[in-house]
Structure 1
């Protein structure tokens, strides 16, 4: 599905949500990087899809004063050869195989699509200092009560179903040290979360529950989490 280009037959797929995801990532990532005084000179977006997150994250980092010498987007889908963006090099293939040592790596809604996420993350971490995840939390009442796992496996191809604890545990099992995390509340306003009639009428309730307890909101309706982790053994 990914390697034959089927998943991204529309190369703009998911692009409408990218800016909301980057806002959430930046809110959590930038203070950590500042506090730890990590240099960010190179950035790679893995499973970059339409390239929307890659572009928006590049702009966000540069706006924060980071001088990026290298920005890359990686995806196994052949559609990537059609993408062009000034200052970004898009590469078809696995970052763990063809990528260079990199200061910052993002995986935005990626690990739920792979069959062995622990091994997948560990291989990426061998070439990365700071690794940032944006992870859907599909282990929730809305999915479980309606028995939606089969549908999600078929489309959009979610193979693993996380809650906040299982997501954090997975990253730790992969050999990374978690520095900070928070719920991706910005994505409540994303277009893909406000398409259907049911989504539109439930949106105010989601926002209210999220204001009371983001954890409770994700356990009922689902949502996403942003995790910032570091490979302490990384040597550039």
Structure 2
């Protein structure tokens, strides 16, 4: 994991810990759960940040219990103050926990930050039956041509690896997962507080996506990939 999470560096660069994005992310996760009619009693999130995604999911699924794992002391301290009777948080690496298994494991915008992401993804297989990955698709024609968007992701939010749809799915399958369902999510079009360049790109992205989704994502970017696997 990038060292900026173990110190206060990430919090200094991103003081909200992207809490404003959490309702949107929780909605995407809820949608794929309901679409595939998953029944679950327990759900955990690996790399839960300050816990807002889990808190939103707990309101949508009032009979389930939720556990968040976080390695950043700063994020964990903020999450811990929000615990409820059905939502708890752990300052630990789930891969180092024994007998921690859940019906659903959520890994939202995490694998791109992990140095040895292959071993990390393989290690998660034993943590639960269903996995829901949310993976930013940083690689597109426009991002490679401009270069600075990817460089900024590395410097400001600690992305160490960069994906497009095919490499993301191939990575999961190569790590032993069966992909049940996947969908694009319009992260740069729908999330709040986007850069001016993303605002300018909204219309062309929407127009091309309505004609050819794969081509729009590959050329213009601005989307992430939500994957349900087991």
**TM value normalised by structure 2:** 0.88
CA contact (8 A) 1:104 1:131 kept: yes
Matched, 1:204 2:203: yes
CA contact (8 A) 1:45 1:54 kept: yes
Matched, 1:174 2:175: yes
Q: Which protein has greater RCO, CA pairs closer than 8 Å, 6+ apart? A: 1
Per-residue deviation at 1:21?
1.8
Matched, 1:82 2:78: yes
Q: Distance in 2 between matches of 1:58 and 1:101?
A: 18
Q: Which residue of structure 1 lines up, in the alignment, with residue 189 of structure 2? A: 188
Count how many residue pairs are aligned between Structure 1 and Structure 2: 219
1:124-139 map, 5 Å = 124-139=124-139
Return the match for 2:17 from 8, 13, 19: 13
Q: Which residue of structure 2 lines up, in the alignment, with residue 54 of structure 1? A: 54
Per-residue deviation at 1:181?
0.4
Q: Aligned in 2, Cα 1:11/1:59: closer, same or farther, shift over 3 Å?
A: farther
Q: Which residue of structure 2 lines up, in the alignment, with residue 101 of structure 1? A: 101
Q: Aligned in 2, Cα 1:52/1:213: closer, same or farther, shift over 3 Å?
A: farther
The secondary structure found in structure 2 opposite 1:18 is helix
Matched, 1:151 2:152: yes
Per-residue deviation at 1:178?
0.7
Per-residue deviation at 1:136?
0.3
Q: Distance in 2 between matches of 1:27 and 1:212?
A: 23
Per-residue deviation at 1:220?
2.1
Query: Residues 6-61 of structure 1, C-alpha deviation per residue, up to 9 Å, x if partnerless?
Result: 213456321111222222222222222x2xxx541111011111212111222223
Aligned residues: CA RMSD:
1.8
Q: Distance in 2 between matches of 1:45 and 1:129?
A: 13
CA contact (8 A) 1:76 1:94 kept: yes
The secondary structure found in structure 2 opposite 1:138 is coil
Greater shift in the superposed pair: 1-10 or 73-82: 1-10
Q: Distance in 2 between matches of 1:186 and 1:12?
A: 17
Query: Residues 79-127 of structure 1, C-alpha deviation per residue, up to 9 Å, x if partnerless?
Result: 2023222231111111111261111111111111111112101112212
Per-residue deviation at 1:71?
1.0
Q: Distance in 1 between matches of 2:56 and 2:173?
A: 27
Q: Distance in 2 between matches of 1:158 and 1:56?
A: 25
Matched, 1:31 2:35: yes
Gaps of 5+ in 2: none
The secondary structure found in structure 2 opposite 1:8 is helix
Return the match for 2:67 from 69, 72, 84: 72
**TM value normalised by structure 1:** 0.85
Q: Which residue of structure 2 lines up, in the alignment, with residue 233 of structure 1? A: none
The secondary structure found in structure 2 opposite 1:26 is helix
